[in-house]
Structure 1
Amino acid sequence: MTTSLPRPQRRAPAAVAVLLTGAVLCALAVVATYLLAVQTYTGQALENQGLDATYGAEKHPAAFSLLGFVGSPPLILGALAAVILLGALTRSRSTGRRRVRYGVAGAAVAALSIATTEVLKSTLPRPDLDLYGTGLPLHNSFPSGHTTVAAGIGLGLLLAAPPVLRALLAAPVVFVTALVAAATIVTGWHRVSDTIGAALIAATYFFLAATLTGLPERTTPATHHHSHAPAHLPSPWPPHPTRPHPRPTRQATPTPYTPY
């Protein structure tokens, strides 16, 4: 009799370490971007120069329309539902199970990224470092909400998608995120550091979710180890000694009596 037992899938500790390191580095990069670009005179001056050179929503109507589309609440909710649905409709090649947890994790990446951005934007200060001479705190635009929506939903799709589809979606996700980030800059809605911080926030949650859900996934069916058991198992007790059977004695056939 042959039995097939699925071998449990275990990731190498190095894979987990890489994902956790990526999350920590992205989180630290968010802090560094804010401190250098927002809390220093040089950072604010450089970004304001670039902002003044490209400002003007009336010069870029397509960019303004794109931002209105990306920031639409129905679009955001529909995208979150699509991420969950993508995970629920696909199956793992290694286990054959539906990838619901990947869809839920992908939606969580987008939702947590957007929520974190809104909290930071409303709480982080942006001091006036003698650039305008008011001495009063300025309106903080760090990080960019629209860029966070694009990056968070895009990375959520990559997390929910199976490995083959993930490779095909990677380039479009990067392109759309960069396009939305550029639109926020040319319309004067955000500075460069705002878009960088937004992308890093989404990347932080992506790495954390990838660690919890078990990325990278196996792309081949799990190997099975086979147990071959004989049909008739030997008895664990030693056999009893047997006596040799006595050889049957041949009886002589009586000779019939013949009278003389």
Structure 2
Amino acid sequence: MPSTDDPTETCPVPRVPRRALSRPFLLLGFLGLTVGFVTLYWWAVRTSPGQRQDILLFADAQSMNQVFAPLAGLLRPGLPVAVGLVALVLGALSARRRRWRLLAAATVVVLVSAVLSEVLKEDVLERPYLGDLGYTVNSFPSGHVTVATALVVATLLLWPPPLPRSAPWVAGGVVLVACVASVVGHAHRPSDALASVLLVGSVTCLTCALLRVPRTAPA
């Protein structure tokens, strides 16, 4: 009698191993984002035209303050907490599935980005007085935006494959909301928020290059 067994039970479909992200591409991204961060700091913080343009954009954003300030006040601390909870759940699932490299990469991105942001802002970078161009305390880069962006990156790294096609757009939207909330909420200048995104991108590229992080989505 002919066998009724399912042939897929005896001939399992081979799994295609996920390839690591291109190391040269990641290192190039790290270099480009780092240069972008340094250039933005030099122009927006160390030059008079840069400070002036930054404060004008900051003042324009305050025109939305009456409408969006209450929401911005909730989103600025709330986004890192919400995204952090998602990343924490995904991290636990990754540990259960022994996806140690991705878990390590996500942890490094969050911790290094957060610590580096605060060290740069508080101990390394300075804001010279170049005229009456807003408050003189250095706020470059934004700690809240750094943490929110790093947690978004960690979520993308830890998400079980395949990554949804809409994921980069959703992630970008969350980062954008974090940036706008910090600026509209009168917490940071536009350059501070943009610098945080560049910083996290730089740390992410270097981390993925060094740890040989595999692709989350199919190549």
**What TM-score bracket applies, with the shorter chain setting the length?**
0.7 to 0.9
Match of residue 31 from structure 1: 38
Q: State the Cα RMSD in Å.
A: 2.9
Match of residue 129 from structure 2: 128
Q: Alpha carbons of 1:78 and 1:219: their partners in 2 closer, same or farther (altered >3 Å)?
A: closer
Match of residue 173 from structure 1: 171
| Residue 53 (structure 1) shift | 2.4
Letter in 1 for 2:34: A
**Partner SS, residue 164 of structure 1:** coil
What is the CA deviation profile of residues 65-93 of structure 1, one whole-angstrom value per residue up to 9, with x for unaligned ones? 11132366xx6864553352242245xxx
1:152 matched to 2:161? The reply is no
5+ residue gaps, structure 2, are 1-13
Match of residue 116 from structure 1: 116
Q: Is the 1:110–1:149 contact (alpha carbons within 8 Å) kept by the matching residues of 2?
A: yes
Q: Distance in 2 between matches of 1:101 and 1:112?
A: 16
Q: Alpha carbons of 1:101 and 1:166: their partners in 2 closer, same or farther (altered >3 Å)?
A: farther
What is the CA deviation profile of residues 168-212 of structure 1, one whole-angstrom value per residue up to 9, with x for unaligned ones? 432211111100100111111111111111001111111122213
What is the CA deviation profile of residues 152-172 of structure 1, one whole-angstrom value per residue up to 9, with x for unaligned ones? 001111122244126443221
Match of residue 101 from structure 1: 101
Match of residue 139 from structure 1: 137
Letter in 2 for 1:48: I
* % identical aligned pairs: 30
Match of residue 42 from structure 1: 49
| Residue 49 (structure 1) shift | 1.2
Task: Work out which of the two has the higher radius of gyration on C-alpha atoms and give 1 or 2.
Answer: 1
Q: Is the 1:64–1:183 contact (alpha carbons within 8 Å) kept by the matching residues of 2?
A: yes
Match of residue 207 from structure 1: 205
Q: Alpha carbons of 1:183 and 1:218: their partners in 2 closer, same or farther (altered >3 Å)?
A: closer
TM-score, normalised with respect to structure 2: 0.79
Q: Distance in 2 between matches of 1:216 and 1:198?
A: 25
Q: Is the 1:70–1:149 contact (alpha carbons within 8 Å) kept by the matching residues of 2?
A: no
Match of residue 192 from structure 2: 194
Identify which of 63, 70, 74 aligns with 1:65: 74
TM-score, normalised with respect to structure 1: 0.67
Say how many residue pairs are matched. 200
Structure of greater relative contact order (alpha carbons < 8 Å, 6+ residues apart)? 2
Q: Is the 1:30–1:197 contact (alpha carbons within 8 Å) kept by the matching residues of 2?
A: yes
